[in-house]
Amino acid sequence: MGREVSESCIDSLLTEMVSSYCNRFYANKPELAARRIEAIGYQVGHQLSERYTMERPRFSDHLEAIKFICKDFWSELFKKQIDNLKTNHRGTFVLQDNRFRWLARMSLDPTAEEGVPQDPAALAESKAAQAMSMYLYFPCGIIRGALSNLGIPCAVSADISNLPACSFVVRIKA
Partner 1 sequence: MQFFGGSDISPSPPAPTAPGNNAHMIYVFNRNGVCLLYKEWNRPLHTLNAQQDHKLMFGLLFSLKSLTAKMDPTSAEKGNLGVPQLPGQGCSFHSFRTNTYKLSFMETPSGIKIILVTHPKTGDLRDFLKYIYNLYVEYVVKNPLYTPGTPVSCELFNTALDQYVRSIA
Should residue 111 be labelled a site residue for partner 1 when binding is judged by CB under 8 A? Answer: yes
Please tell me whether residue 86 adopts helix, strand or coil conformation.
strand
- What minimum distance in Å lies between the beta carbon of 8 and partner 1? 5
Rounded Cα gap, residues 89 and 61, in angstroms: 12
Does the bond joining 164 to the residue before it have cis omega, within 30 degrees of 0?
yes
Should residue 40 be labelled a site residue for partner 1 when binding is judged by CB under 8 A? Answer: no
Should residue 137 be labelled a site residue for partner 1 when binding is judged by CB under 8 A? Answer: no
Enumerate the β-bridge partners of residue 93: 87, 170
- What minimum distance in Å lies between the beta carbon of 96 and partner 1? 20
Q: Are 84 and 96 in contact (CB under 8 A)?
A: yes
Should residue 24 be labelled a site residue for partner 1 when binding is judged by CB under 8 A? Answer: no
Task: Tell which one of 1, 4, 5, 8 touches partner 1 (CB under 8 A).
Answer: 8
Nearest to 74 by CA among 124, 21, 127, 139: 139
Task: Tell which one of 5, 6, 116, 119 touches partner 1 (CB under 8 A).
Answer: 6
Site of interaction with partner 1 (CB under 8 A): 6-8, 11-12, 15, 18-19, 105-111, 128, 131-132, 135
